[in-house]
Amino acid sequence: MNCPHCGITIEIEKINCAIFRCGIYKHNGQQIPPHLSKIECDQLKDKIWGCSKPFKYENGTLVICDYV
């Protein structure tokens, strides 16, 4: 699947609340937390691969959503 914002490939291994942020930390390859605020996401610019924008998994597709 691809991020609906930037198009980067997204790997979804586990779905809890179905909310995600596009990005993995460069230093350890871990996914960024799904409920970060916009301010926190903006601070990750050079620390992650991805755009850090929010999306949700809905009916088999990735859909743009707001920061929650």
Question: And the tokens for 51?
Answer: 């755009």
- The domain tally of the chain equals 1
DSSP category for residue 39? H
User: Where does the pLDDT of residue 14 fall: very low under 50, low under 70, confident under 90, or very high at 90 and above?
Assistant: confident
Residue 12 has pLDDT above 90, yes or no: no
Residue 24, domain extent: 1-68
**Cβ–Cβ under 8 Å, residues 6 and 20:** no
Residue 68: what pLDDT? Answer: 78
Residue 51 has pLDDT above 90, yes or no: yes
